Every structure is written in structure tokens, then in C-alpha cells.
């Protein structure tokens, strides 16, 4: 289920709860809508609302942390790609084949993370980018001076760091909000909106207000879900760091 579909489901549950509350008001006996009943409902819903607000806040903070981590890892990986290219450039013309492989690997990674047709899976297997072949090419270099040996060692270290970062991003791609937690929060929100509809007057202003509130709440859930898919959808990370790195390779 994509981000937009989840938002529609949440909106339907929340706003549907408000409409159901209005329906209950029309069928319940008057004694169930007394001032004492209203106070009791408000106390209970206040408790549920506090719990829902706390959990939503935690979910947003967790999703934002994941999103920022992916963004930082992408920026750091782009910087290390340029650094690796410069190290190989200083090694000498013998590293041209490795530099070409690095450029091709970055191009393939760019196509896999931000596919032009939008149909392929965004988080492709890191082994398909050619990173392991690049490591082998750097390992096979035959340094003739102490400076070249030092540069080869640095290049191998950076290549290993790039591989670790790429596999880490690939492993994190399966992270997602806990479905039971999401269902529980939606259930709480539905209860809250049922209580709103139960005591809300049946006029256009009240319905419009509940509609806007339902859209806001479903938007918050949509934001949480979207930040767990940083390489697709409306919250997609910018490809600028990788494109800028690619533009500097081979210079």
C-alpha cells in the first residue's frame, strides 16, 4: 500500500468516525446526551487524545530521524565518492580504469535510486552497482613508490567505507512504521472523532471543521509514512549530492 492509499484509509476512518458520531446522536435517547454524559465523554476522550498526541509525536520524531539519517548518509557517501576519485587521480594514470569504474558505478546507483521511468525499484541491490569490482581494481594496482602505496591504502579504505554506507542504506530500506502501532493510533483517532461528532451540531460549519481536522490528522500520518520511503513519493530525497559528485568525477 502506497503513502497516498494509507492517507485515504486514515482519512476515511477518522472522518467516518465523525459522521458515525453524528448518526449516533440522532438515534440515541436524550438521556445519553446529558451534560453529565458529555463531561464523562470529554474526560475519557481527553485521556485518549493525550495518548494519541504523545504517540504521534514519537512517530514523527522517529520518522524524521530516519529521514535525516538517510539524507546524511547520502551526502557523506557522495563526498567520499569525490574524495576517492581525487585519491585515485593523485595515484597516477594507472588508476584510470578504476576511476572509470567508479564513475560508472555512481551512474548506475543514480539510475537505481532515482529511476527516470519511475517504475523500477528504488533501492536496488548494492552488488549491482559494481562496487566490489572497483575494490578489486584498486587492490590490483601495483604501486611503485611509497606515495602510491599510501594512496592505494587510502583508496581501499574509502572504497570499504562506501561499500558499508551503501549496504547500510540498502538494509535500512525495509524500515517502516509498525503496523500495529499505526492501527492503534488510527483507532484512537477514530474514537476521538466519534466523540466530536456525537456532540457536534449538524450544520455545514461543524462538518467542514471536522473535515479539515480529519485532513490534518491524515496528513500527519501521511508525513510519517512518506518519511520512511525517502527515495520515492512526495518526500523523495534530492539527487543533487549524487549528481554533483558525478559531475566532478574524472576531472
The verdict on pTM exceeding 0.75 is: yes
**What pLDDT shows up at residue 226?**
86
Q: Which of 9-18, 76-85, 161-170 has the lowest mean pLDDT?
A: 161-170
What are the domain boundaries of the chain?
Answer: 3-248
Cell digits of residue 128 = 549491482
HSE value, Cβ hemisphere, 13 Å, CA-based, for 107: 10
Calpha distance 216→62 (Å, rounded): 19
Q: Please report which confidence band the pLDDT of residue 182 belongs to, taking 50, 70 and 90 as the band edges.
A: confident
Query: Considering the chain, what is the average pLDDT of its residues?
Result: 86
Q: Is residue 131 pLDDT above 80, yes or no?
A: no
**What pLDDT shows up at residue 126?**
59
Among residues of the chain, what percentage have pLDDT more than 90? 37
Are 11 and 215 within 8 A, CB to CB? yes
**What pLDDT shows up at residue 122?**
47
Q: Is residue 14 pLDDT above 90, yes or no?
A: yes
pLDDT in tens, 204-238: 999 999 999 999 999 888 888 888 888 877 888 88
Which of 112, 217, 241 has the alpha carbon at shortest distance from 173?
112
3-state secondary structure 172-186: HCCCCCCHHHHHHHH
Amino acid at each position: 500500500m502506497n503513502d497516498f492509499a494509507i492517507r485515504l484509509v486514515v482519512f476515511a476512518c477518522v472522518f467516518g468516525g465523525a459522521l458515525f458520531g453524528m448518526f449516533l446522536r440522532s438515534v440515541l435517547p436524550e438521556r445519553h446526551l446529558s451534560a453529565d454524559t458529555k463531561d464523562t465523554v470529554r474526560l475519557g476522550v481527553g485521556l485518549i487524545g493525550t495518548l494519541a498526541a504523545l504517540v504521534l509525536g514519537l512517530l514523527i520524531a522517529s520518522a524524521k530521524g530516519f529521514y535525516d539519517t538517510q539524507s546524511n548518509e547520502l551526502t557523506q557517501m557522495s563526498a567520499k565518492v569525490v574524495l576517492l576519485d581525487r585519491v585515485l587521480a593523485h595515484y597516477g594514470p594507472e588508476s584510470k580504469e578504476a576511476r572509470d569504474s567508479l564513475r560508472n558505478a555512481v551512474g548506475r546507483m543514480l539510475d537505481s535510486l532515482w529511476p527516470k521511468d519511475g517504475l523500477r525499484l528504488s533501492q536496488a541491490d548494492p552488488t549491482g552497482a559494481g562496487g566490489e569490482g572497483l575494490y578489486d581494481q584498486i587492490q590490483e594496482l601495483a604501486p611503485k613508490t611509497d606515495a602510491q602505496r599510501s594512496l592505494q591504502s587510502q583508496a581501499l579504505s574509502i572504497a570499504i567505507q562506501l561499500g558499508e554506507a551503501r549496504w547500510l542504506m540498502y538494509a535500512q530500506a525495509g524500515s517502516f512504521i509498525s503496523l500495529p502501532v499505526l492501527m492503534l493510533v488510527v483507532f484512537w483517532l477514530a474514537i476521538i472523532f466519534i466523540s466530536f461528532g456525537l456532540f457536534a451540531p449538524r450544520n455545514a460549519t461543524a462538518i467542514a471543521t471536522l473535515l479539515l481536522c480529519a485532513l490534518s490528522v491524515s496528513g500527519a500520518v501521511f508525513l510519517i509514512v512518506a518519511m520512511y520511503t525517502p527515495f520515492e513519493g512526495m518526500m523523495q530525497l534530492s539527487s543533487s549530492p549524487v549528481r554533483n559528485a558525478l559531475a566532478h568525477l574524472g576531472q
